[in-house]
Amino acid sequence: MKKILFATLLIINNVFSQEEIPILNHYVNDFTATLSVEQRLHLERKLKKYDDTTSNQIVILMISKLEGSDLFDYSIRVAEKNKIGRKGKDNGILILIVKDYRKVRIEVGYGLEEIIPDAVASSIIRNIMIPYFKAGNFFEGLDKGISTIQDAIAGLYQAEKKDDFEVTPTLLITLFLLAIILTSLFRRMRRGVLGGWTYYGGSWHPIPRKGSWGGFGSFGGFGGFSGGGFRGGGGSFGGGGASGSW
Amino acid sequence: MKNKSLLIGCSVGAVLLIFVLIIASWAISSYNSLVSLDQEVNQTWSQVENQYQRRFDLIPNLVETVKGVAEFERETYTAVTEARAKVGQIQITSEMLEDPKAFERFQAAQDNLSSALSRLLVAVENYPQLKANENFLQLQAQLEGTENRISVERRRFNESVQKFNTAIKRFPTNVIAGTFGFGEKQYFKAVTGSETAPKVEF
């Protein structure tokens, strides 16, 4: 019995001893404390703005080392788990740096494989990023690399119109109908389920209201998403991209 | 009295009818879910095929480039060309997925080509001219990318086969699967060291 338990534990341990895949909440995730705060913010703003205007999502992950996983295996799992890029467009890119191993990988989403084929990703790594990385200048390497990627993709995708708040006739009609339904519901609720009337003394009388309804409470505002952090949009990856080392 | 027995008869009939309807709707829905699982397997399989084809198409260029520079590695690059020719002889269809022998042959040929290619890429490390050759570097990047894609698509294919095989074996869906002839499908077995993802055996 003990043996079986031990074997089970061993199997479970084997399955989970693989690298833990981080959930990324920013465009720039530096777990190596290499970038200064200003550098990180600069890149974060650049990528956030890029996402807002083009819907392409580029995310940076910097870690010190890998616990046993293969570079490619790890990078595709991070990209898949965080769903970088938009659903349907699959326009996400992950730039992974494993600093202590001096390795970098650009993982390219399905939707960008045509425009950034492996050879181009490889060339960006070798000719643009690595010369800076060799000199220890990670910020410059990333910044230039990202600009090159952005130039390559330029014009392929635009941000969805939906993102801007547009007043269309359909929207107005929907809002109008919604308002009518809500008001009638609200009235009914105030009167009680049976219409708020009761029969006594030979005739119908309205039920006197006991206490107040306390309103609907607040919805907490709608500004919850404006924090500026990264949220994956459901993009998927097929293993496109390239790796390099310096 | 007569009325009462009629009533009982009717209600028994109604219960039976409801029972039959429930069984029928269950059968239909599980048949449909098997069909969609089967389609998923075929779809993931065609992705696997695409990536293997892509690698197949890349090889001649790569071999040409290596030939030009590393004449010494004749043995290594002819091994690649031969392995590629073997891969080209194997016809692949989605019916093959239920045939263990054919699938094994397919996997063996592809894995053989993978190892021939990786030997070539290791041998090439000794040639600085190649490592400075932009054309070669790009081919190498493309080949690496294709190998990566192959491993991704193989994993997705295995996952979909796993789902399918579990579904057709599980009671009571196995009755439907048996009736309509859904057979167990083959999947890629990990070759030592070639896959990092842990495989679940069933």
Asked if B142 and A119 come within 8 Å (Cβ–Cβ), the reply is yes
Asked if B153 and A238 come within 8 Å (Cβ–Cβ), the reply is yes
Is the alpha carbon torsion for A19, B146, A92, A30 positive or negative?
Answer: positive
Q: Which of residues 9-68 of B touch A (CB under 8 A)?
A: 47
Q: A233 by DSSP, 3-state: which?
A: strand
Which pLDDT score is estimated for B107?
92
Burial (0-12, 13-18, 19+ Cβ within 10 Å), A111: buried
Asked if A73 and B197 come within 8 Å (Cβ–Cβ), the reply is yes
Residue type for position A37: V
Is residue A54 over pLDDT 80? Answer: yes
Q: Both ends of chain B: CA-CA distance in Å?
A: 60
Tens digit of pLDDT for each residue in A149-185?
Answer: 999 888 666 655 544 556 677 778 888 888 888 888 8
Which pLDDT score is estimated for B194?
43
To the nearest 10°, the Cα dihedral for A117, A122, A123, A125?
130
Which pLDDT score is estimated for A14?
46
Provide the shortest C-alpha distance from residue A227 to chain B (in Å): 34
Rounded to 10°, the helix A37-54/A138-153 angle is 10
Which pLDDT score is estimated for A195?
53
CB-based contact (8 Å) between B144 and chain A?
Answer: yes
Asked if B144 and A118 come within 8 Å (Cβ–Cβ), the reply is yes
Which pLDDT score is estimated for B198?
36
Q: Which of A92-96, A150-154, A185-189 has the lowest mean pLDDT?
A: A185-189
Residue A94's pLDDT band (cuts 50, 70, 90): very high
Provide the shortest C-alpha distance from residue B80 to chain A (in Å): 21
- Which helix or strand (DSSP H or E) is residue A117 part of? none
Provide the shortest C-alpha distance from residue A122 to chain B (in Å): 6
Ramachandran region, residue B121 (left: φ > 0; alpha: ψ -120 to 50; beta: rest): alpha
Phi, psi of A241 (to 5 degrees): 125, -165
Asked if B152 and A118 come within 8 Å (Cβ–Cβ), the reply is no
Which residues from B are below 8 Å from A15, CB to CB? 198
The closest alpha carbon to B152, from A113, A114, A59, belongs to A113
Q: What is the pLDDT along chain B (202 residues), one digit of tens a residue?
A: 668 888 888 899 999 999 999 999 999 999 999 999 999 999 999 999 999 999 999 999 988 888 888 777 788 888 999 999 999 888 777 778 888 898 999 999 999 999 999 898 888 888 888 888 888 888 888 898 899 999 999 999 999 999 999 999 988 888 889 888 898 999 998 765 444 333 333 3
Which residues from B are below 8 Å from A121, CB to CB? 141, 145
Which pLDDT score is estimated for A161?
54
Residue A12's pLDDT band (cuts 50, 70, 90): very low
Per-residue DSSP letters for chain B?
-HHHHHHHHHHHHHHHHHHHHHHHHHHHHHHHHHHHHHHHHHHHHHHHHHHHHHHHHHHHHHHHHHHHH-GGGHHHHHHHHHHHHHHHH----GGGGG-HHHHHHHHHHHHHHHHHHHHHHHHHTT-HHHHT-HHHHHHHHHHHHHHHHHHHHHHHHHHHHHHHHHHHHSTTHHHHHHHHT------PPPPTTT--SPPPP-
CA angle A142, A92, B194 (to 5 degrees): 90
Tens digit of pLDDT for each residue in B62-109?
Answer: 888 888 887 777 888 889 999 999 998 887 777 788 888 989 999 999
Nearest to A118 among B47, B145, B152 (CB): B145
- What residue in B sits closest to A80 (Cα-Cα)? B152
Distance CA A121, CA A127 (A): 10
Asked if B152 and A239 come within 8 Å (Cβ–Cβ), the reply is yes
- Supply the mean pLDDT for chain B: 86
What is the ipTM score, two decimals? 0.71
Provide the shortest C-alpha distance from residue B142 to chain A (in Å): 5
Residue A229's pLDDT band (cuts 50, 70, 90): confident
Burial (0-12, 13-18, 19+ Cβ within 10 Å), A90: buried
Asked if A123 and B151 come within 8 Å (Cβ–Cβ), the reply is no
Which residues from B are below 8 Å from A241, CB to CB? 145, 148
Provide the shortest C-alpha distance from residue B158 to chain A (in Å): 15
Phi, psi of A228 (to 5 degrees): 95, -10
Distance (Å) of CA A78 to CA A38, A69, A83, A164: 25, 12, 8, 29
Q: Which of A208-222, A230-244, B26-40, B157-171 has the lowest mean pLDDT?
A: A208-222
Whether pTM > 0.95 for this model: the answer is no
Residue type for position B190: A
- What residue in B sits closest to A76 (Cα-Cα)? B152
Average pLDDT over residues A144-152: 93
Residues facing A206 on adjacent strands: A197
Structure tokens at B38: 């089967």
Distance (Å) of CA A152 to CA A140, A173, B84, B151: 18, 42, 34, 27
